[in-house]
Amino acid sequence: MTATRARTFKIKVASQKQEIDVQEALTRALHDNPIPLNEQKWNFDLYRPTRDALELILPRCTKGTVLAFDEIHDHVYPGETQAVMEGLGLGRYPLKRNPYYVTSNYCIIE
């Protein structure tokens, strides 16, 4: 019996002045590492990169995958909240709040 390996991908941007095409970087990372994902931490803050990442990553998530978002319910960055509402659906995966950081939330893929 072969065990399925899961992995966390980290794509970091060094500074806010640096631009990154999330869809391109994530597509490349997923192509280079064709394995299921078990945890993803989101720090995109904006609608389009969050939406693109959700579209690419959700098909690779396994039961129990944790998706963490850092700017949910943040009035300064409403795009991330909008993308999560559209990409995950409001009732499909309940968001759980980090008790120590009010805008940090996560959900577990069931």
Rg (CA), the chain: 14
The pTM of this model reads 0.71
**How far does the chain reach from its first CA to its final CA, in angstroms?**
24
Residues with Cβ within 8 Å of residue 83, at least 6 apart in sequence: 47, 48, 50, 51, 54
* Cβ atoms of residues 19 and 55 within 8 Å: no
Residue recorded with tokens 């970091």: 12
Provide the pLDDT confidence category of residue 18 given band limits of 50, 70 and 90: low
- Which helix (H) or strand (E) element contains residue 37? strand 37-42
Highest mean pLDDT among 7-16, 36-45, 61-70: 61-70
